[in-house]
A = this chain, B = another copy of it.
């Protein structure tokens, strides 16, 4: 199998599978122990400066925002981040100066809401480096390989493009067909953050709705911090074991954080808080605005509960619940601006 082309992107989060196995032998345990801790403790313990982090969920859906805010509060620096259709998490971490480099599948944009002023400024000014490009499937399969303990996954995307040229993948001749395939290197992020609707104190997690990349991503993580709407009794897990998407062995920290995805969506529970997202998009047009946002919502509050109060408290949260259940219309400043 001859190599045709080697992407010049930095190989973020790649570990020789033997080295990864040795790390697991030393650092992970299959013991069924209580892993509950606060978000502050989890960030302190598992996210040192310089970590390569990846966030579960997608865009503004099911994101462990309490961990993201805590990373900012603790002024973590020189992080590398997976831009795996990371959107809000990515943008605020970039804005807060936590990030030194990233690999991008989709970043710098908030889908329909428009581009991300803060993180674009960070990259265009040279403060942050995009060290590799990939695609959504590219990332998905980096984590599949990471989960499987193999060095790469073959695929048929990326080929022929600059995305390949700037990726960490290689193309090679497949020995079974004689045709070119791309070899997507596996990834085992230093830390993965994930928000789930429910889990037990050991970390056995259920997820309602689409899994996005989280089945493979959770299993590829070196350290896995789970925040959850609710900690349920072990009995809830054991009575329907086929609902366990992430078994406890992969999990390092379990933090109970109701509304922990806010201002992002939690399927079946609450809708995007488009007012907060809109406020961020508006303020983050300048560095001063970025500071104003963080002073108000991160440094100016002592924890996530106080943040939720400031974001509108129980009236706002009830509204978001009702929008998610299709009982109310969403309120979006970016939508109001469009009224003719």
Instruction: Kindly state the separation between the CA atoms of A16 and B208 in the bound complex, as whole angstroms.
Output: 36
A205-216 to B contact mask, C-beta < 8 Å, 1/0: 001111100000
* Contact code string A1-36 (vs B, CB < 8 Å = 1, else 0): 111000000010010111000000000000000000
Shortest Cβ distance from residue A268 to the other chain B in the assembled complex, whole angstroms: 10
Min C-beta distance of A77 to chain B, whole Å = 29
A3 to B3, CA, bound (A): 12
Closest to A148 in B: B155
Residue A153 CB within 8 A of the other chain? yes
A57 contacts partner chain B, Cβ-Cβ < 8 Å: no
A149 vs B153: C-alpha distance when bound (angstroms): 12
CA separation between A148 and B140, bound complex, in Å?
A: 12
| A-to-B contact residues, CB < 8 Å | 1-3, 11, 14, 16-18, 148-156, 170, 172, 174-177, 179, 181, 183, 185, 207-211, 241-242
30 residue pairs of the A-B complex, CB under 8 angstroms, read: A1-B1, A1-B172, A1-B175, A1-B183, A16-B176, A16-B177, A16-B179, A17-B156, A17-B177, A18-B177, A148-B155, A150-B153, A150-B154, A151-B154, A151-B174, A151-B176, A151-B177, A152-B174, A152-B176, A153-B153, A154-B154, A170-B175, A172-B175, A175-B183, A176-B183, A207-B242, A208-B242, A209-B242, A210-B242, A211-B242
Lowest 10 CB-CB distances: which A-B pairs, in order?
Answer: A1-B1, A151-B176, A151-B174, A150-B154, A16-B177, A151-B177, A1-B172, A176-B185, A3-B175, A209-B242
